[in-house]
Each structure stands twice: as structure tokens, then as C-alpha cells.
Amino acid sequence: MTEYRASFDADVTFSNGGGLQVQGFRLDLPGPQPASEELAGLFVSHLGLLMVDQVRLSNIEVFAEAHKGSRGGPAATGATASESRRLVDLSHPIEAGMTTYPGLPGPEISRFVSRADSRQRYAEGTEFAIDRITMVGNTGTYVDSPYHRYEGGVDLAGLPLTSLADLPIVVVRLTGSRERGVTAQTLAPYPVSGAAVLLHTGWDRHWRTDTYGSAAPFLTEDGARFLTDAGARLVGIDSVNIDSTDGGERPAHSILLGAGIPVLEHLTNLGELPVHGARLHAVPAPVRDFGTFPVRAYALI
């Protein structure tokens, strides 16, 4: 079977500043006629480049030659060598009246049975409080099921635990980026197959402020398609929405949930996680005919 390689010049700019130029770079190809976007993605993956803004290729030549071996991305690093493991809370606490998403009501918390009233029902010295909460599903840190976007889609009760619990985490570092949108090119260096891909934008620093709901980072349409095609199991973000809220379109929700990939929004503390090696647990209550519900998301490092 004939194998192919390419030679080209590349000019790379990064979303956090700076650039890289190479001449006469050679790379293994999957076939004889790669699109320029595919070649740029292979180049970024091979070098393990992060926070890439643009890649401009020139002087491209494709030729038959045996493959020399190309890296698919940065090598995964395991968990710490320490025998003890650490838990990291990735969820925001829920409080009465708080705003999670602009325009949606905050939760109302009240007592259904007070401790004083409960004393009449139990033995002396025994008392309980039974609390009540009224809230929309999109409260705090929550997971979206396909039912949230699609009538007839899998609801919270139908989500398999294998899509929510004990998932290997890949953290995509985006803090300091000058671009709001997370693109396929940015994601290309990361080995996301079978992983919970968590987009660490740092936007959680604005939680419960007016800034949190405007001009926030998001996953682009081509980024969502890349993660779907690459086999991501779950996608999360520490921002107000996985999509841009500038208009009415929601391509990331549509693509991910259409592929059965749960979406986890309003995460926090992603900066405490390694890029690789942690495990995610983010399981909601199994409510039927319901699309979205809060989770106590946490990572085991």
C-alpha cells in the first residue's frame, strides 16, 4: 500500500500572542489529497500546539514516501504518583435567589416541615427538617441530556451512567486566550476519544456577576463537530453556556446532544485539574421527562 507524506511551510499565530514559522516541514498523510484544513490539523496535532489561532500553509508538496511516524498530540500524563488521591469539587453551591443564567428565575428554598413541627411526630429529642426547593433545571452546575434540545431525545433518567461517571478527563486550557470561540483547530492536539472534555476558560471567576452572562467563551460549531467525530463522551465548560448567546442559534448543543453527548455547564475549579489523569463524576437525579438538572460534579485525581 502506497503511503504519502507532505512538505510545506507554515506560519502559526497563537490566541494568547506570539507565533511560529517553519520551512520545509514534513508530515505523514492518511491519503494523497488532504484538504488544507486537514493538513493544518495534522500539523498542530503532531507538534502538540495549544491555543492556536491560525495556521497558514504554503509551498505544499505531496509525495509518495513511507511514513516516518507522527504524534497524535501531547503525551498523556498519568495521575500523581502519590498513593493518596484527591477530590476536587467542580460545582457551584446553590443558594436561594441566585442567578445561574440571565433571565431564568433563581431557586426558592423553604421548609415543608419545620423542626418544631416535626417534634409532634417523633419521640422526645428526635426532630427533622423536610425542605422544599422550587427551581428550573438550569440551576447551578448542571448537565443537559438530549431531551433538553430534542423532543423524544433521551431524558435524564435515560442517560447511561457510563456517560456521566468515572470518565477520564481531558482539560483544554484556554485561560488567557484572546478568542472567545473554541475551535476544532484549538482542540486538535488533545486525545479526546472516550473522554470527558472540559473547557477551562477561567470564566467562572465572574460567577454571580453581571459580566458572567455576556461576551462569554463558548464552543464553536466546528469545535462541536470535531469533538463528536473524535469520540468525546461528555463536554463541559466553566462558562455560562456551551454556545455563544449572541444570537438564537445553538449549534454546539444541537450537535453534541444530537449525538447523545451530555453537556455540562457552569463548572468551576478546573484550574486545579491536570490536563490528563483525573476522572469525572457528574450524575444528576434520574428524572423522567426532564432535560436538565443540577449535579455535584467532582474529579478524582
> Could you report the per-residue pLDDT of 229-248, keeping only the tens digit for each?
999 999 999 999 999 999 99
For residue 156, what is the domain's CATH number? Answer: 3.50.30.50
Residues 50 and 149 in one domain: no
134, part of any domain:
no
> Could you report the per-residue pLDDT of 89-134, keeping only the tens digit for each?
999 999 999 999 999 999 999 999 999 999 999 999 999 999 999 9
Residues 58 and 144 in one domain: no
Task: Kindly report whether the global pTM for this prediction surpasses the value 0.85.
Answer: no
Residues 282 and 155 in one domain: yes
40, part of any domain:
yes
Percent of the chain with pLDDT over 90: 78
pLDDT top residue among 41 and 92? 92
Residue 81 has a pLDDT of 41
User: What is the pLDDT of the chain when averaged over all its residues?
Assistant: 92
Residues 39 and 157 in one domain: no
Residues 43 and 189 in one domain: no
295, part of any domain:
yes
Structure confidence at residue 70 as a pLDDT band (50, 70, 90): low
Residues 251 and 152 in one domain: yes
Measured torsion, CA atoms of residues 117, 119, 120, 123, in degrees rounded to the nearest 10: 160
Asked whether the predicted pLDDT for residue 76 surpasses 60, the reply is: no
Residue 71 has a pLDDT of 58
Residue 83 has a pLDDT of 52
Tell me which residue range forms the domain holding 234: 88-92+140-300
Domain count, the chain: 2
Percent of the chain with pLDDT over 70: 95
Residues 293 and 191 in one domain: yes
Residue 221 has a pLDDT of 98
Asked whether the predicted pLDDT for residue 177 surpasses 70, the reply is: yes
